[in-house]
Amino acid sequence: MPSAHILKILVSIALAAVPAIIWTAIFLKKRKEPLGIVLITFVAGMVSVAPIILYKLSWQYLPGLNLFTYFDRFGNNTLGFTQFLYLPVSTLLSFLLVGVIEEYAKHVAVKVADGGKFKNVDDAMEYSIIAALGFSFVENVMYFFYIWQYQGFDTLYLSFVFRAIFSTFAHILFSGVYGYYYGLAYFAKPIYQQDRHPCVNFLHKLLNLKSETVFAEEKITQGLLYAVILHAFFNVMLELNITYIIVPFLIWGYSGLSYLFIKKRSQVEFGK
């Protein structure tokens, strides 16, 4: 490998490490977690990028696996927001699929890394965020290297600022929301005992369903759905070049995450 490529890779890694360290410090400042588990979760988030890369590489040999090609048939159908803002349905479907793949990959990283050590819903949110930072770190390295390689060093600065502040936090937001609902599912039994509704309980008994299991699956599905919608909405804003909405969107997202963290339910220690 040429020395110039090695230099670009090392610089890209250093640049990607900056937002990862800063955002980690922000979210773990008031919540001290074991460094070992934090590192394992971060690395698991990094590794969660690999299946996505392998999936894309497989298209060269098995083009039928490329689900995005099936969306091309909707290319002529558009969603019109204004006279100048319209989005092909194929693009929207692609964004939703990307959201499902990436959000579930990060979620699997958290499940692999947690080892049954979560004490409360807060923990599930925190480690989901750490996994997201690991995922974002690898993604940023690839973006920075690509931009430097093909667009030049002069364009790297703006890319660094945008991805360090906006794209990285967007991943935090999506995974943090998913992590909250994963936490509810993780402690489904005690939480369901507190929240169960008589009508829902009767329905579960009528269908011979284990109530806590159904509750957990509902929350997992709900978390994935919200994370994918937020992810797709963020990508739509970029696609339509309405970036002026991104700042209020992410401010709202930060406020929402903060609210989920301070909810009484999030603080209760169910685990040991």
Question: 256: domain range?
Answer: 3-267
Burial pattern 214-239, b for ≥16 Cβ within 10 A else e, equals: bbbebbbebbbbbbbebbbebbbbee
Residue range 85-142, pLDDT digits in tens: 667 778 888 888 999 999 999 999 999 888 777 888 999 999 999 999 999 999 999 9
The confidence band for 271, taking pLDDT boundaries of 50, 70 and 90, is: low
Higher confidence at residue 245 or residue 72? 245
Q: What is the Cα–Cα distance from 117 to 193, expressed in whole angstroms?
A: 21
Q: Residue 222's closest CA among 178, 269, 169?
A: 178
Higher confidence at residue 41 or residue 75? 41
| 152 found inside a domain | yes
| 272 found inside a domain | no
> What pTM was estimated for this model as a whole?
0.88
| 252 found inside a domain | yes
The confidence band for 216, taking pLDDT boundaries of 50, 70 and 90, is: confident
Confidence check: pLDDT of 168 > 90: yes
| 78 found inside a domain | yes
The confidence band for 196, taking pLDDT boundaries of 50, 70 and 90, is: low
Q: What is the Cα–Cα distance from 15 to 31, expressed in whole angstroms?
A: 26
SS3 148: helix
Q: Looking at 45-49, 70-74, 217-221, 260-264, which range is the least confident one?
A: 70-74
| 133 found inside a domain | yes
Q: What is the pLDDT of residue 176?
A: 95
124's tokens: 């599930």
Q: What is the Cα–Cα distance from 122 to 268, expressed in whole angstroms?
A: 9
Q: What is the pLDDT of residue 77?
A: 62
Tokens 């093909």 found at? 150
Q: What is the Cα–Cα distance from 259 to 156, expressed in whole angstroms?
A: 34
Confidence check: pLDDT of 269 > 90: no
Confidence check: pLDDT of 258 > 60: yes
Higher confidence at residue 30 or residue 118? 118
Rounded mean pLDDT, 239-245 = 83
> Which residues have CB under 8 Å from 207's CB, separation 6+?
none
The confidence band for 46, taking pLDDT boundaries of 50, 70 and 90, is: very high
Confidence check: pLDDT of 195 > 70: no
| 216 found inside a domain | yes
What's the total number of domains in the chain? 1
Q: What is the Cα–Cα distance from 140 to 200, expressed in whole angstroms?
A: 44
Q: What is the pLDDT of residue 75?
A: 63
| 125 found inside a domain | yes
Confidence check: pLDDT of 22 > 60: yes
